[in-house]
Structure 1
Amino acid sequence: MEVNSIRVALINPGPLEGVKSQEMLQISPPLGLLYLSAVLKAENYHVDLLDLVAYQYNATQVMKWIKQKDPDIVGFSTLIIPSSCVSAAVMAKEIKSWNPNIKIVFGNKHATYNDVRILKKYPFIDVCVRNEGEYTFLELINTIVKGQPLKSVRGITYSSNGNIIRNDDRALIRNLDELPFPDRKSLKYNYKMKFGLLDLAPYGFSSILASRGCPHNCSYCYGRDYMSYRMRSPENIIDELELLENENYRMVNFVDDNFTVNKKWGGKICALMKKRKIDIDWVCEGRVDQVSLELLSSFRRSNCRAIFYGIESANQETLNYFNKKTTPAQAELAVDKARRARIPFIIGSFILGAPNERIQDIRNTLKFTWKLDIDFPFINLLFTSPGTGIWKDLVDKQLLDEEKYWEGGVQVLDIISKAGSKNRIIGLMQQTLREFFVRKDFIFKQIFRFFSNSYKLHAAIKVATSNIQNFRNFRGAGSFMMAKKAVNQPGEDSKTHM
C-alpha cells in the first residue's frame, strides 16, 4: 500500500435510527476525531469524518456513506453507552460484511477499558486503540501500510490467529503543544452551545481543549489513574482561539475536566486574550474549591459567559463517597464569588442516587439547588461504567455484575437504592425543576440581572426567540434533568481519543 492511496474513515457513532435521547442534549464537535484527522492529514493520509451524533443517520445512510468513501480503514470513537458502543458494533459488522478487507478499529474509553471483551464478542473488529489515540492510530496505520506485524505498536489490543494480544501501553503525550489544531473544517455541521434544550449559541460554536486529564480522583469519573494532568501553553491556546475567531466562531466551550486547576495558568490565558484582543465568548468547568474572586474576575473580563460547577451533592457523606474532597459550604462560596465577579451564567451540576443515599439525602440536594444562587441546575442520576472508582467498588462488593453491564454501563439506582424507586426520585427531580424556574425570588433576580448585564439581556432575548417551543409544558425546565451522569462533557467524551 502507498500512503497517498490509503483512505481512512472516522466515525463518531450515535443512535442508528436517529432517535433523540437525553444522552444527546448537547451535541459538540468530536474533538478526539478532529485531532486524529489533523494528525493523519499532516502525514498525507486521506481522511473522511462522519459525526452520527449530529447527523443521526440510519444504518442504510451510514452504509451509503461508507460505500461512497470506500475506505481501507474505519475508526470508531466509542463511549460506554449503548448509543455509542453498541451502535458502533452494529455498523462495524455491516461494513465488514460489505468488504472483509476493511480494517475496523475501535478507540476511546470503551476500547480502553473493554478491549479484550470487545474483541472476544465481535471477531470482525480488528484492533482496539487504548488511551490517547493520535500517535497510536498513526503508527498503526503506518504499520498496516508497510505490511508489518502489529507487535511493535504500543497502546493497541488486536486479534491474531485466534489469539487476543495486548501490547504495552503507550506513554501519554507530554507536550500537547506539538499536536496540530483539530481539523474542524472536515465537519460542516452547525454545532450549538446548549444548556439543556436552551440554545445559547445558535451559530458559530465549537469546543476547545486546553488541558488533558485531571489531578483529582472523583469516584464517578475516570480519574487521574486513567490520564495524568497536562496543560497546553497559554500561547498555544491563544493561537487556536485566534484561528477560531478568524474562522467566524463566536463562542467556545473549554471542555477540560477542570479549567480552574492552576490559577496562574488560567490568569495568563485571560491576560493574553485581552492583549491579543480575542473577541470570542467562552464557557468552562471548574471545581468549587479552586476558584478565587481574582481568577473569576479575570475570566469575566476576557468574555467568560458561563461557569459550570461540579457541586454534586448537599450531603457531605455523599461527597466523601464521590471522593470530591469538597464541602457544601465551598459550593456556596464558589457561587457567591462567581456572582461578585459578575459572570453572567452560573450552572450547577448535581448527582443523585449514590448507593448509601436515603430519600432525605435526595431531598437535601434538591433543596440545595434552590438555596444556591445559580441560574441553571443540571440534575443527574448516578451512572457508572468500567474504569470508574464506583464501578470497581460495586464489583468488589459483588453488587454489580460486570459481565451484564460492561458494554453500556448502568445507572446505580437500577442495581441498588436505599432511597426508594427510581421513578419516585425522577418525580422529585421533575417537581424541583418545574418549581425552580417559577420561584418569585428567582424571577425577580433574573429580571434585575438581565437589565443590569448587557450580555445577559441579549442572551435572554436570543434564548427566548430560539426556545419558545422548549418551554411549553415545562419542557425547557425538564431538559435540565439528565438521565445519567456524563463523566465528561457530552459529545466530548471523545475529547482526547479516537
Structure 2
Amino acid sequence: MKILFIQPPLPCNERHKRILPLGIGYLCSYLRQRLPEVELKVLDAHALNMNYSQVVSEVNCEKWDMIAFSFWTAQAPFVYNIMPSLRKKQEKALFVFGGVHTSLCPEEASEHCDICILHEGEETFFELVSRIVEGKNYKDIQGTAYREDGEFIKNPIRPLIRNLDSIPFPAWDLLPMECYTTPLHVVGGKRLPVVGSRGCPYNCTYCVSPLMWMRKVRWRSAENVIEEMKKSINELGICQFHFWDDNFLLNRKYVIELCEGILKENMKVKWTGLTRASHIQKNKDIIELLAKSGCIGLEVGIESANPETFSQIQKEESLVTIEEIAKLQKKYGMYPLFTYMAFNPGETINGYYMQSRFIDTLLSNLPWLEHFHPLPYPIYIGQFSTAYPRTQLMEDAPNLGMVLVEKWDDCFHHNINFIPNSLLNDVPIKTRNHLKPNDYLAAVNAAWAGIWTFASYSLPRFERAMEQWEYVKYLSSFFIRCDGNNTLKKIAEEVADFLNMERKKSYQYAAFSALVLAQLGLIRSALYEPELKMEIKEIKVPAGKGIKKKIKKILFLIVMNIYCFLKKR
C-alpha cells in the first residue's frame, strides 16, 4: 500500500516561515512502527512553495492508494479546489482529510474527501489503514466522519491517547529538512519543534486548542522528550528547540525533571517555549534552573495592554504580572519574549499607544532582536485577531465588530479580517498638523511587514510599488480627517469614496493606520482618557542590508519630501 501525505501551501506562502508538519511527522512514525510494509511519502507543498499545477504534477507522478491532507483553516480552499484535478488521475485513491480545520468543520470537509480523521489522529489513522490492508469495512471507526449517499455521518470521538510516550518520534527523514530555516528566537540558527504535552486547560475566546483537545492536558515523560532531543542532535545536528506546548510551565514537576535531565546529560542546547505570565510568576523559583538548562527566554502572549480587552478575550492575566516576569527573566540572563495581537474586542486608539509604551518598558535595556520582531524598529505589529471556526470569538464577532472574512483563506493572522466596534467607533484626533517623510516610511514598512497581502512578492515590481503609493495617499487622506469629529469607521468610508477604493480595503487600511499612528503618538482618541499624556515617538528607520535597500530608502524619502512639501502648499 502506498500513502502520500500532503501539507498544502498557505495564503501568501512566500511570506510565511516554513512550519514543519509535526502532525504528519507523527502519523508517519506511528504507521511505520506498526505497519512497516506500508510505503509512505510526504509532499510539503508549503515548505517547497508549490502552486496548484506543481502539486498536481508532483502527485500524479505516481499512483497512490491513499492521499491524505492535513490543513489549517486558511489552507482549506487550496485543498478543496485541487481535489477535482487529483481525482481525475488518482481515481482509485482514497482521499483522507485531517488536521485542525477538518476537526472543527467535518461536515464541510467531508463534502470534498472520502473520510475525515478528527482530533488526535495517530490511532484513528492506523486503524483506518489496517482495515483497508485487511480488506475490512472502515465506516464505523471512532474519530472519523464521512458522507454516504450525501448524508453526513460522524462516528463517536475516539478517546485521547493516554500514554504519549508510546508514540514514536516524528519521521523527520521523510521531510525536506533543508527547507525549514526559520531561526530560533534571540540567537538565530536552525531549530526543531518539540511537543512535550498536548492540550490546554484554559478557554481563550480566540483559540482552537479547547476545541481540539477538549481542555484536557497530557504529558510525555521528561526522559522521553530528552531522548527525542538527543536523537535530533545526533542525527540532524540540530541542538536548538522550540517547545510547541500550549503552555510549557503548566506541569512544574515535568519541567524540573526536563531541565535537570538536560543538565545531567550535559546537553549543550538552546530552547524556548510558550507559557503564561502567571505561570512564570508561580514558578519563579525555578526560572534560574530553566536558564541553566539552555532556555534563552520564554514566550508570553500579551495580546493587549488594555484590561478591558483582557476581560473580553478571557485572557485572565494582569499587566503587573507581565512586567514582573520580564524583570525576572532579565535577572537570569534570559530575553523576555512577548507576542501580541491587534484588533481584539475592546481595543481603542489610546490602547495602542499604551501598549507600545508598555512593551518599550518590558524590553528596556535589551538589544533589538532581528530573529523575533518583524520590524527593525519599535512599532509592534504582531498578529491580527482572527475568528477561527467554532471559537467563541467567531460566534461573538458579528456583535463585537466588523467581520471581513469572505472565504476561508482570508482567515489567517496576517490578514485584517476583524475590526472591533470599540475601534471603529473611536474618534481619532491628530497630535500634530502634518506627517513627516519618515512617518510615511515607517508606516509603509510596517504595512509590508504586518499585512502579508500588501505589496506581495507575487506581484510584479511595478504593481508592488503602486500599492505602496496607494497606501501613502490613503495615509495622507486618513490623517487629514483625524480632526476629532468623525469615527474611524466614518473616516474609512469617506476616504474610500475620495480615493475610489473598495470599502473593505479602506476599513483594513484605516484600522492598520490607527494601530501604527497611535503607537507613534501621532493620533489619539478624542473620546477616551483625556488625561493621558502622549509623546510622539520619533523612529529612525534603518535602510536594511545591501546597497539596493539603501538606495530604495533614499529614493522613497526624496519622493516623500516632495510629496509633503506639495501637501503643505
Fold in common (TM above 0.5):
yes
> For residue 138 of structure 1, what is the aligned residue in structure 2?
126
> For residue 210 of structure 1, what is the aligned residue in structure 2?
196
> For residue 422 of structure 1, what is the aligned residue in structure 2?
508
Pairwise CA distance, 1:170: 0.6
> For residue 183 of structure 1, what is the aligned residue in structure 2?
171
Do the aligned partners of 1:314 and 1:364 also contact (CA within 8 Å) in 2? yes
Question: Residue 65 of structure 1: which of 52, 58, 64 is its match?
Answer: 58
1:235-274 equivalences under 5 Å are 235-247=223-235, 248-274=237-263
- Residue identity matched to 2:273: C
> For residue 276 of structure 2, what is the aligned residue in structure 1?
287
Residue 290 (structure 2) pairs with residue 299 (structure 1) = yes
Q: Deviations over 1:416-466 (max 9, x none)?
A: 43313432342354568899xxx8999xxxxxxxxxxxxxxxxxxxxx9xx
Pairwise CA distance, 1:414: 3.8
- Residue identity matched to 2:545: I
Do the aligned partners of 2:343 and 2:385 also contact (CA within 8 Å) in 1? yes
Pairwise CA distance, 1:280: 1.9
Please give the secondary structure, in 2, of the residue aligned with 1:290.
helix
Pick which of 272-281 and 56-65 moved more: 56-65
Distance 1:403 1:103, change over 3 A: farther
Residue 387 (structure 2) pairs with residue 384 (structure 1) = yes
Q: What root-mean-square deviation, in Å, do the aligned CA atoms of Structure 1 and Structure 2 show?
A: 3.2
Distance 2:262 2:244 in 1: 18
> For residue 314 of structure 2, what is the aligned residue in structure 1?
323
Do the aligned partners of 1:111 and 1:128 also contact (CA within 8 Å) in 2? yes
Distance 1:473 1:336, change over 3 A: farther
Distance 2:150 2:548 in 1: 55
> For residue 155 of structure 1, what is the aligned residue in structure 2?
143
TM-score if structure 1 supplies the norm length? 0.79
Distance 1:144 1:415, change over 3 A: farther
Please give the secondary structure, in 2, of the residue aligned with 1:48.
strand
Do the aligned partners of 1:336 and 1:373 also contact (CA within 8 Å) in 2? no
Give the number of equivalent residue pairs: 431
More relative contact order, 1 or 2 (CA 8 Å, 6+ apart)? 1
Residue 332 (structure 2) pairs with residue 341 (structure 1) = yes
Distance 2:142 2:512 in 1: 44
Distance 2:140 2:13 in 1: 41
Pick which of 359-368 and 332-341 moved more: 359-368
Q: Which runs of 5+ in 2 are unaligned?
A: 374-379, 424-487, 489-506, 522-536, 553-569
Question: Residue 545 of structure 2: which of 468, 471, 496 is its match?
Answer: 468
- Residue identity matched to 1:348: F
Pick which of 298-307 and 426-435 moved more: 426-435
Distance 1:256 1:277, change over 3 A: same
Question: Residue 33 of structure 1: which of 21, 24, 27 is its match?
Answer: 24
Distance 1:35 1:60 in 2: 28
Residue 2 (structure 2) pairs with residue 7 (structure 1) = yes
Pairwise CA distance, 1:406: 5.8
Pairwise CA distance, 1:359: 1.8
- Residue identity matched to 1:313: S
Distance 1:272 1:314 in 2: 37
Q: Deviations over 1:342-386 (max 9, x none)?
A: 11x322111121233222223322332212226545622111111
Please give the secondary structure, in 2, of the residue aligned with 1:151.
coil
Distance 1:245 1:53 in 2: 25
1:97-108 equivalences under 5 Å are 97-108=88-99
Pairwise CA distance, 1:209: 0.6
> For residue 171 of structure 1, what is the aligned residue in structure 2?
159
Q: Deviations over 1:194-245 (max 9, x none)?
A: 37xx895444x21111111112111111243531111111111111111111
- Residue identity matched to 2:289: S
Pairwise CA distance, 1:54: 0.8
Q: Deviations over 1:43-66 (max 9, x none)?
A: 122110011111011223222321
Please give the secondary structure, in 1, of the residue aligned with 2:42.
strand
Q: Deviations over 1:80-132 (max 9, x none)?
A: 11xx1111222322211212221111111110111102223x3xx11111101
Distance 1:149 1:473, change over 3 A: farther
Question: Residue 367 of structure 1: which of 339, 357, 360 is its match?
Answer: 357
- Residue identity matched to 2:73: I
> For residue 76 of structure 1, what is the aligned residue in structure 2?
69
Distance 1:333 1:441, change over 3 A: farther
Please give the secondary structure, in 2, of the residue aligned with 1:55.
coil
Distance 1:434 1:252 in 2: 35
Distance 1:285 1:253 in 2: 9
Do the aligned partners of 1:15 and 1:52 also contact (CA within 8 Å) in 2? no
> For residue 481 of structure 1, what is the aligned residue in structure 2?
none
Residue 340 (structure 2) pairs with residue 350 (structure 1) = yes
Do the aligned partners of 2:403 and 2:417 also contact (CA within 8 Å) in 1? no
- Residue identity matched to 2:198: R
Distance 1:416 1:333, change over 3 A: closer
Distance 1:471 1:274, change over 3 A: farther
Distance 1:161 1:266 in 2: 50
Distance 2:264 2:319 in 1: 37
Question: Residue 104 of structure 2: which of 73, 96, 113 is its match?
Answer: 113
- Residue identity matched to 2:240: M
Do the aligned partners of 1:293 and 1:337 also contact (CA within 8 Å) in 2? yes
Pairwise CA distance, 1:400: 7.8
> For residue 45 of structure 2, what is the aligned residue in structure 1?
52
Pick which of 180-189 and 357-366 moved more: 357-366
Pick which of 7-16 and 332-341 moved more: 7-16
Pairwise CA distance, 1:29: 1.2
TM-score if structure 2 supplies the norm length? 0.69
Do the aligned partners of 1:385 and 1:391 also contact (CA within 8 Å) in 2? yes
Distance 1:225 1:74 in 2: 26
> For residue 212 of structure 2, what is the aligned residue in structure 1?
226
Distance 1:58 1:403, change over 3 A: closer
Do the aligned partners of 1:258 and 1:285 also contact (CA within 8 Å) in 2? yes
> For residue 433 of structure 2, what is the aligned residue in structure 1?
none
Distance 2:321 2:181 in 1: 31
Distance 2:356 2:131 in 1: 54
> For residue 77 of structure 2, what is the aligned residue in structure 1?
86
> For residue 483 of structure 1, what is the aligned residue in structure 2?
none
Distance 1:137 1:349 in 2: 34
Do the aligned partners of 2:110 and 2:152 also contact (CA within 8 Å) in 1? yes
Do the aligned partners of 2:405 and 2:418 also contact (CA within 8 Å) in 1? no
> For residue 494 of structure 1, what is the aligned residue in structure 2?
none
> For residue 409 of structure 1, what is the aligned residue in structure 2?
411
Pick which of 44-53 and 403-412 moved more: 403-412
Distance 2:246 2:8 in 1: 22
Question: Of the two, which has the highest radius of gyration?
Answer: 2
Q: Which runs of 5+ in 1 are unaligned?
A: 1-5, 443-463, 476-498
